[in-house]
Chains A and B, each alone.
Chain A
Amino acid sequence: MRATAILYALAVLFALCVPLLGIYPVFMMQLLCFAMFACAYNLLLGFGRMLSFGHAAFFGAAAYATGWLVSAHAWGPGLAVLAGVATAGALGLVIGSLAIRRQGIYFAMITLALAQLVYFVCLEAPFTGGENGLQGVPRGRLFGLLSLRSDLVMYYLVLAVFVAVFVFIRRVVHSPFGQVLKAIRDNESRAVSLGYEINRYKLLAFVLSASLAGLAGSLKALVFGFVTLTDVQQSTSGEAVLMTLLGGTGTFFGPVAGAAIVVTLQEYLSDLVGGWVTAIIGAVFVVCVLAFRRGIIGELAARLPLRLARPAAAQPP
């Protein structure tokens, strides 16, 4: 565990020093929001073995809720983010309770279809701005005290929330609840025979994952000051899957690494190759599935004597 602790300390130190290193804080905030999104997703895929193809619905719905409350109703950022998380959690409860009625590939198709439903609602609802989305969302003052207008202040806030979410997810996975969730992942019928109400565990994992994905979406709305249909689109759900898979499903740091790679690729690759980014991301997907299903961190953990992840958790789902 010592190597892991050192790595985490280095990562936090790096994150704290980012503004000094001359890295654009908005870019880092984008990276952190997507890393949070991927970590939330990983809670479901990596530890619950539920492949959702609709997580953009939670990310985007929360972003819309926060953006709308802040700009149209002048809510403070703190309350608006909480409302966004609550929206995503409620949506997660509805979509989750429908989706857990089927397993495996059906689960994926159901979440995809229901997320498309949310997309159409966001397209046609009167308060989402349709094709234009919500523009000019103000960051406001946190609890009326701290102005978030400065990118630096916002960056440290996003970083603090991210670290809290990361620690929270670790805590959840290592809790008795997380152990049962992993037991269900590894052998569902055995968990049933041991008397666990597996659907309650699955649903709770789904709602938690949806709420945290919503938190990421709400923060992203505040960081950028706009919410668009891209945030609820199928492609965004696909990005969550890719980041998690690329970094390593069922590892704690994998989704963060995956998000860092994908966001950096999108940022810098688009200058080099223009519109080929989607095709390249698709190719990364294919290579990932064919060549390293454990993801980057998962492969590292399996090959190096480092204990970046628990051996049992580094298994492909």
Chain B
Amino acid sequence: MTTVFGIPVAVILGQLMLGLVNGSFYALLSLGLAVIFGLMGVVNFAHGAFYTLGAFAALLGLQLYGVNYWVALVLAPLAVGVLGIVVERLLLRRLYGLDPLYGLLLTFGLALVAEGSLHQVFGATGQSYPVPPSLAGGMNLGFMFLPLYRAWVIVASVVVCFGTWFVIERTRLGATLRAATENAPLLQAFGVNVPLLVAVTYGGGVALAALAGVLAAPVVLVNSQMGSSLVIVVFAVVVIGGMGSILGSIVSGLALGIIEGFTKVIYPEASNVVVFLIMALVLVLRPAGLFGKD
């Protein structure tokens, strides 16, 4: 078997694959965070909780109503997105104009409510969500074994990420959104319903998190804590990339996933902390973040 520095190539590629899967989740989550932050100036601490809710929505849909994976992939983000709009309309909007730290604290409280309730109702042990039959198994590429589901997660995330980028940067709706980010009162004066736009953006951002949750359900154990540790890594990704650019958050999410995967091969003990170490390094060398503007 071919080896690089004494490590079999198949192992390296396998970890690279796992890293890319994690990176896809980082990218989807940091993208949502960046869009929400750009428009509302709110750091959505509940982002991890919405990701968890997406996974639970898929799981419960399957267990209670027999909703299959592909339907859940559409319905769960939709349901969570609507919940997000309700949260924005009822709670978050009361904090506009105040110090942005209050938005962070409010969403932190919401995350505790959601995760605490899920923990109490479903217990601490995770439940597994079956891989959809059409994506079960894998392909032997000769040099490595490619699990189909993981490949699907990567492709789907990349397509969704770049789709979001396209909508924001290249369509009329995206132009309106960017205009609201620049100067909301002026846009409102032109007759655009800015509060509606804000609510829908928040819903869209958390729907992306829920989508990541459904994609993750078959590869992780679905439990109430799955989002809370992930969101901390995503925050580090956001500090590294800077929240100024959509493309920046996608690229840094994927890249950090890959770096994490490589670390698992070279020095497994550090794989949990490598993203935080890179964040510290970036803060020393380029405090505004790699793609940051401020």
Contacts and interface: CB of A to CB of B under 8 A. Distances in A.
A283 interface: yes
A105 B100 contact: yes
A268 B283 CA distance: 43
Interface string A99-134: 001101110111011101100110010000000000
A278 interface: yes
Contacts of B101: 51, 104-105, 108, 317
Interface string B21-45: 0000000000000000100000100
B282 to A, nearest CB: 10
Interface residues of B, number: 44
16 contacts: A51-B104, A101-B284, A110-B283, A113-B276, A116-B276, A117-B277, A120-B273, A275-B119, A276-B120, A282-B109, A282-B110, A285-B106, A290-B91, A290-B106, A316-B99, A317-B99
A279 B113 CA distance: 4
Contact of A105 (B98, B104, B229): B104
Contact of A113 (B105, B113, B119, B279): B279
A274 B232 contact: no
B239 A106 contact: yes
B29 to A, nearest CB: 13
Interface residues of A, number: 41
B275 to A, nearest CB: 8
B105 A277 contact: no
Interface of B: 37, 43, 91, 94-95, 98-102, 104-106, 108-117, 119-120, 228-229, 232-233, 235-236, 238-239, 269, 272-273, 275-277, 279-280, 283-284, 287
Contact of A282 (B37, B91, B98, B116): B116
Contact of A102 (B119, B269, B283): B283
Interface in A263-290: 274-286, 288-290
B110 A286 contact: yes
Contacts of A276: 116-117, 120
Interface of A: 51, 98, 101-102, 104-106, 108-110, 112-114, 116-117, 120-121, 124, 234, 238, 241, 245, 274-286, 288-290, 293, 316-317
Contacts of A274: 120
Given A51-B105, A117-B273, A286-B106, 5 more contacts: A120-B273, A275-B120, A279-B113, A281-B112, A293-B102
Tell which of B91, B116, B277 has the most Cβ of chain A within 10 Å.
Answer: B116
Give the 10 A-B CB pairs with smallest separation, nearest first: A282-B112, A285-B109, A278-B116, A279-B116, A282-B113, A117-B276, A113-B236, A286-B109, A109-B235, A101-B287
B280 to A, nearest CB: 6
Contacts of B228: 234
A120 B260 CA distance: 15
